[in-house]
Amino acid sequence: MFRMLIVDDEPIIVEGLQELFEELEHLELEILIAYNGRQALDALQSLRIDIVLSDIEMPEMNGLLLQQEAIRIGSAAKFIFLTGYNDFDYIQTTSRSGSLDFIVKTEGDDPIIAAVEKAIAAIQEALNTDRLLKEARYQMQKAHPILKRELLLSCLNGDHSTRNTLASSFQQYQITLDPSRPVYAVLGRIDHWRHEQEEADKALFIYCIANIVEEFFSSRCRMEHLSESDRRMIWLIQPLSTNDQELADNFKSYMMSSLEAVQNASRTYLKIVCSFAAMSKECTWDALPLGFNRLSLLFERGLGLGSEMLLTDERMFAPSDKDLRLQLRGVRLLDTALAKQDKDEFFRKYHEIMALFEQSQTYNPGLSLEIFYELSSIFIAHLNRLDLLYSLSERYPIGHLLSIQAHGSWKDVSSFFERIAHHIFDSAQKEIETETNEIVATLHSYVKDHLNGDLSLNRLAELVYLTPFYLSRLYKRITGQSISDFIMEARLDRAKQLLGDPALKIHDVGQRVGCESPSYFGQFFKKHTGLTPQEYRDSLKRI
């Protein structure tokens, strides 16, 4: 999915183009709108914008100046200019400035659609798989030295011995980050590898993902990347700018929208599904270990248990969130499978462990005790994280988790742990369903109450502490329709209701449902009902 910003000072043009592109599902576009250059620049500072479809002639800041400002702040958006005049001087100016296309508005919709398709093709070409693999192989040859990786891991793990020597160590190992400035951490996770992925190629594709991140972030950030395992990746990031407070305030939003682009590029070009969790605020190097633990915890419950997640730790600080406890991690084996909610992997490992129980009964009772209490610590940790100990105690004796003597046989042990595992998996799935249903209910309520307000995908995503691309995918997966379709239906339903009040003028009805232009409201209503607003109002009188 790509993000396109439509900019024009005429509402009817903005709203008409927005509806046009929202109906072209094959382009997979998220549409943002702005009614002047200043609004557009704010969007470019806050979000990663792929394409800007802009009018040239606008008051205060015209399209050409907007493009210059976009370049200044490091935006890589491709510009397509619209104008009401076939002016040769404009064509020359926009070509020199690096715009992708110059289109006269009177040419109709087809040239505009073609220009956007051309822009998408250019972006895709820049991210083709062969080039990514070639660059990844080159980067692997220059892989970070082991000591550099260990130093960064020690920062994440809170090793006090490294704090006093960070500056000299960073210089020694050519780490580009500044140890005197705050830092953001981003945790990445491979959810699904490519079909029939070779083990030997996993490291190569992790470097591909790292290269995609570098491509999307390098214009505004310096960063360091390290792989924690063949499934988890870590980035430490600092914005390049230290003086521009406006850019700094918008960095979190820019970072998350760029991670969305990374996620989509990885799925599209590498056929790899991945998730990301990022800090919502920068932190000092001393606070980094605690912040990194929060990111890890995000992947272990709620939405983080699903696939292709894009989350920030902001959700953990929201008033509606449950009291989350930063527990010590379980001791290997089943811990990872429980955290990922991977039932197949869990029970495969579980049966291996139970077989070991049976063997140890005959050959090594001490090993049986060790395995039993390792399993107990893992289950207790996950039951605590999901707040399930109380509900479990209503069904099973909790003491059986703490004492091997409470079980009559190894068969009883196996059955007991298996029932607890099913309880954990089932409860986690219910939590995901509850949380996603709450998100949908919140969105529906907000949309109906703010039909004449800001209903952009970005605003709705902020409302539920998610990112726009992820919210769009999540909503469609849950409801079977797009958010824009729901907003359209809500506007139509409300418009029909208001048109039944003869005291309201038709243009007032249009404004109340979010149509700034009366002519656009008429076009919108007739397109979806077959009647003009006046014809619909007249039809109500005949009933």
The closest of 462, 28, 42 to 261, measured between CA atoms, is 28
More confident residue, 304 or 313: 313
CATH topology classification for 129-317: Alpha-Beta Plaits (3.30.70)
Q: What angle do CA 388, 392, 396 make, to 5 degrees?
A: 160
In whole angstroms, what is the distance from residue 316 CA to residue 280 CA?
10
Task: Give the count of alpha carbons within 13 A of 227, CB side only.
Answer: 19
Calculate mean pLDDT across residues 463-467: 89
- Sort residue 465 into left (φ over 0), alpha (ψ -120 to 50) or beta: left
Question: Tell me, what's the pLDDT at 185?
Answer: 94
pLDDT more than 90, % of the chain: 27
The closest of 221, 225, 223 to 239, measured between CA atoms, is 221
On the question of pLDDT at 384 being above 70, the answer is yes
Average pLDDT, the chain: 82
In whole angstroms, what is the distance from residue 194 CA to residue 196 CA?
6
SS3 category, 230: coil
Which secondary structure element, helix H or strand E, spans residue 223, and what is its range? Answer: strand 221-227
Calculate mean pLDDT across residues 471-496: 91
In whole angstroms, what is the distance from residue 190 CA to residue 174 CA?
27
Say which CATH class 450-541 falls into: mainly alpha
On the question of pLDDT at 289 being above 80, the answer is yes
Question: How many helices and strands in the chain, by DSSP H and E?
Answer: 25, 10
On the question of pLDDT at 338 being above 60, the answer is yes
User: Do 451 and 490 contact (CB within 8 A), yes or no?
Assistant: yes
In whole angstroms, what is the distance from residue 527 CA to residue 476 CA?
23
Digit-coded pLDDT (tens) for 32-70: 989 899 999 998 998 889 999 999 889 889 998 999 999
The pLDDT confidence band at residue 443, using thresholds 50, 70 and 90, is very high
Question: Tell me, what's the pLDDT at 377?
Answer: 85
Task: Give the count of alpha carbons within 13 A of 157, CB side only.
Answer: 10
Question: Tell me, what's the pLDDT at 227?
Answer: 85
On the question of pLDDT at 363 being above 50, the answer is no
Identity of the amino acid at 279:
M
Question: Tell me, what's the pLDDT at 484?
Answer: 87
Q: Give whole-number Cα distances, 162 to 170, 285, 421, in Å.
A: 11, 11, 40
What letter would DSSP give residue 181? Answer: S
On the question of pLDDT at 298 being above 60, the answer is yes
Question: Tell me, what's the pLDDT at 145?
Answer: 65
The pLDDT confidence band at residue 98, using thresholds 50, 70 and 90, is low
Question: Tell me, what's the pLDDT at 444?
Answer: 95
pLDDT more than 70, % of the chain: 85
In whole angstroms, what is the distance from residue 527 CA to residue 543 CA?
22
Calculate mean pLDDT across residues 147-166: 76
In whole angstroms, what is the distance from residue 105 CA to residue 87 CA?
12
Q: Give whole-number Cα distances, 229 to 146, 190, 339, in Å.
A: 14, 10, 15
Q: Where are the domains of the chain?
A: 2-126, 129-317, 334-431, 450-541
Calculate mean pLDDT across residues 228-245: 81
Lowest mean pLDDT among 139-153, 358-372, 400-414, 500-514: 358-372
The closest of 94, 82, 78, 5 to 41, measured between CA atoms, is 5
On the question of pLDDT at 317 being above 70, the answer is no
Question: Tell me, what's the pLDDT at 328?
Answer: 34
Query: What does the radius of gyration of the chain's CA atoms come to, in whole angstroms?
Result: 27
Complete DSSP assignment for 71-91: HHTT--PEEEEEESS--HHHH
User: Do 319 and 303 contact (CB within 8 A), yes or no?
Assistant: no
In whole angstroms, what is the distance from residue 85 CA to residue 106 CA?
9
Q: Same fold for the domain at 129-317 and the one at 450-541?
A: no
On the question of pLDDT at 361 being above 50, the answer is no
Question: Tell me, what's the pLDDT at 242?
Answer: 64
CB-based burial of residue 437 (10 Å sphere; 0-12 exposed, 13-18 middle, 19+ buried)? exposed
Question: Tell me, what's the pLDDT at 287?
Answer: 85
Calculate mean pLDDT across residues 206-221: 90
On the question of pLDDT at 543 being above 70, the answer is no
In whole angstroms, what is the distance from residue 452 CA to residue 442 CA?
17
User: Do 31 and 57 contact (CB within 8 A), yes or no?
Assistant: no
More confident residue, 493 or 392: 493
Calculate mean pLDDT across residues 393-422: 83
Say which CATH class 2-126 falls into: alpha beta
